[in-house]
Amino acid sequence: MNERYSVETLKRTVALIQERFHTSITHSERLAAAALNGIDAHGLDPDDWATVVATVDVVVRAWICGNGTNPVGIADK
């Protein structure tokens, strides 16, 4: 997939996920990329920080809680 978000947004998203959920850097990077790609796939701006924070709070939290909604290819920790 051709990412449509900045490297800075990816780095900030990784840091946010690590801060909120205490996940490893590798897991956080995969979750961040999946979240940003999902934002883009739904027609929203993956560089809009408010959208990213809301996505991390809701979607990434659901993925981490293990309710069966992990994105394809994202292994637990």
Neighbours of 5 (CB within 10 A): 20
65-77 per-position pLDDT tens digit: 876 556 655 655 4
Question: Which pLDDT score, from 0 to 100, does residue 25 have?
Answer: 96
- Percent of the chain exceeding pLDDT 90 equals 78
Question: Which pLDDT score, from 0 to 100, does residue 66 have?
Answer: 77
pLDDT greater than 80 at residue 41 = yes
Neighbours of 18 (CB within 10 A): 17
pTM beyond 0.95: the answer is no
